[in-house]
Amino acid sequence: MPLPHPFYPPATTLSSPYHPNDLDARTILALFSAGCTALLISALAIARTRRPSLSTQDQALALWFVLSAFIHIVLESYSFYNHARLPTNQDFLGQLWKEYALADSRYMTDDPLVFCIDGLTAITLGPLCLLLVYLILTASPYRHCIQLLVSTLQLYGDVLYYLTGLCSYYFMGISHTRPEGVYFWGYFIGANVPWVVVPAWCIYNSVKAMAGAIGQQTSYIQGKGDRNNSKKG
């Protein structure tokens, strides 16, 4: 008989004994939002100092990848490293994960998919996002390649995360989300949908930039060839 807990389905066996949060949902979300805001303001100040000529669009993208790096490295590394004791942990991140898990109880169990996506994301995407911020600030020729790679991984990981959750519900009748709308629409959909929308836009942005450069290179080489031929003629 599993211990009572607020996650769905109620019969789910958690990976460790459940300790209820002592912070309420509003406090957790307010503290988390305040932390993110402080991080983004500091990052904006640094970006403007290091490269004052950065366009507004690139400033926004640098901030997006700073926020992504923070979430991948801090939040996802935490859940990956602590996956066997998440229901018990009472530190701030433990309480944040317990609040989120009301929308997805797979974080409170030994679900191999969520564990593997989290681990892969934390180990590969976290550092790649930081590298990308550096590449944006230094206007590196590698910037759009890494932006395309990172955004493709973010988009695919997020779509797979959504799909596996929704498949469990529609094909196996197992909902990992509490029935109150705020958990499905606010947490599960709302908190993750930026990692579908922004990466999709970033992929478009990078494909345009790189195809433009390659097209220009091709016509430059062809133009050079034509000039050489007319000189010879």
Residues near a copy of itself (CB under 8 A): 110, 112-113, 115-117, 119-120, 139, 141-146, 148-149, 152-153, 156-157, 159-160, 163-164, 167-168, 171-172, 203, 206-207, 209-218, 220
Rounded to the nearest whole angstrom, what is the least distance from the CB of residue 15 to a copy of itself in the complex? 10
Q: Give least dist CB 81 to a copy of itself, A.
A: 14
CB of 44 to a copy of itself, least distance (A): 25
Q: CB-wise, 71 or 203, nearer to a copy of itself?
A: 203
Please give the single-letter amino acid code of residue 101: A
Residue 168 beta carbon to a copy of itself: minimum distance, rounded to whole angstroms: 5
Quickly list DSSP for 96-156. Answer: HHHHHTTT-GGGGTT-HHHHHHHHHIIIIIHHHHHHHHHHHHTT-TTHHHHHHHHHHHHHH
Cβ-based neighbours of 221, under 8 Å, separated by 6 or more: none
Least spacing, CB of residue 147 vs a copy of itself, in Å: 11
Please identify, using beta-carbon distances, which residue of 112 and 179 lies nearer to a copy of itself: 112
**How is 200-229 classified by DSSP, letter by letter?**
HHHHHHHHHHHHHHHHHHHHHHHHHHHHHH
E strand or H helix at 22: none
**Cα–Cα nearest to 77, from 126, 34, 113:** 126
- In angstroms, the CA 149 to CA 125 distance is 10
Q: Which is nearer to a copy of itself, 44 or 153 (CB)?
A: 153
When the beta carbons of 81 and 156 are compared against a copy of itself, the nearer one is: 156
Q: What is the DSSP letter of 165?
A: H
Write down the least CB distance from residue 125 to a copy of itself, Å.
10
- Going from the C-alpha of 78 to that of each of 134, 144, 232, the distances in angstroms are 24, 29, 66
State which residue, 86 or 148, has the beta carbon closest to a copy of itself. 148
Cα–Cα distance, 9 to 177 (Å, whole number): 8
Nearer Cβ to a copy of itself (144/178): 144
